[in-house]
Structures are given as C-alpha cells and as structure tokens.
Amino acid sequence: MRIWKFEHNVDTDQIIPAEYLTTGDAKKLAAHAFAKVRPEFPKEVKEGDVIVAGENFGCGSSREHAPRALLGAGIRCVIARSFARIFFRNSINIGLPLVEADVFDRIEEGDEIEINFEAGMIRNNTKKEEYRFKPLPEFMQKLLDSGGLINYIKKQR
C-alpha cells in the first residue's frame, strides 16, 4: 500500500469539487478526485493506495460522493487523526475503511504500509515501525466486511 499524504481539514469540496457531482458513479467521480488540490491524483493513484491525513478529514458538506470518489479511485483506507462524523459514517456505510490514528508525523508520502484492521496495527515497511490504533466496533467491521450497509442488509435476508 502506497501513501498519499494530505494536511488537516481536508473538506469534501477538496475531495470531489461540486461541479463533478452530476453522477453517483464511483469511477466517474474518481476521475475528478482532488482535481483542484492534487490534479495528478486521478492519474497516479493505484488500487490499494492509502490516504494519510491530519485532523478533521472529510469536513464540509455531508455528501456521500466524497468517500464514493475515493473508493472509485481504488483507495484501500483513509488514516487520519480525526474525521468529520458524517464523513466517517458515510464512509463506513459505503464500505470505505477508516482508521483513526495519530500517525500524521510518522508516515510519509510514498511509504509502504500494511494494515491489520482486526489487531489494530499499522506496519510501516519503509521505516520498519509499527503503530497501534483502536479497531472499529464489531458491527462496523461487519459492515465493512460486507462492502457497506446495503450489502450487509442484503446478506441478512
């Protein structure tokens, strides 16, 4: 997993600018992810990459398009010191894993990491370091394992 690093207070308008909200298709949204702040992102992001950010990631509007664009881009997980609550819940509901961990000053862009969600462990293979985080509650992990809330509900029938 390769790292893309973002600062504090990344809002949903930075993740997916409003003029691209004409679709709910994750792949089409992904083509414009971070268009105004990191225009190279859609062309260079790879399936399985991870975003590491500071505090309050996903602040701003409550649009579900923002985590959907990240999923469409192939982002495996977002790790941040903290998340806007509505972004957090939207992400879990659509199947985008999030990790709250204070690793902003320890993981650099381009580092290669591994994440063990169940054990609450991030391994930085580049720096040969390990960082702990509090795993998600069991129910939220079940939602993620199912691919989101709708898939979870379908499996319950």
Secondary structure E strands in the chain: 3-5, 50-53, 77-80, 98-100, 113-116, 121-124, 129-132
pLDDT (tens digit, 9 = 90+) per residue, 25-51? 999 999 999 999 999 999 999 999 999
Return d(Cα 34, Cα 40) in angstroms, integer. 8
From the number of C-beta atoms within 10 Å of its C-beta (0-12, 13-18, 19+), residue 106 rates as middle
**pLDDT above 90: residue 156:** no
Return d(Cα 16, Cα 72) in angstroms, integer. 12
pLDDT (tens digit, 9 = 90+) per residue, 86-112? 999 999 999 999 999 999 999 999 899
pLDDT at residue 50, rounded to an integer: 97
Local structure of 129: helix, strand or coil = strand
| Dihedral sign computed on CA atoms, order 86, 98, 144, 42 | positive
Mean pLDDT of 45-68: 95
- Name the phi and psi angles at 57, rounded to 5: -65, 135
Specify the CATH number for the domain of residue 58. Answer: 3.20.19.10
Structural domains in the chain (count) = 1
- Give the domain range for residue 141: 3-156
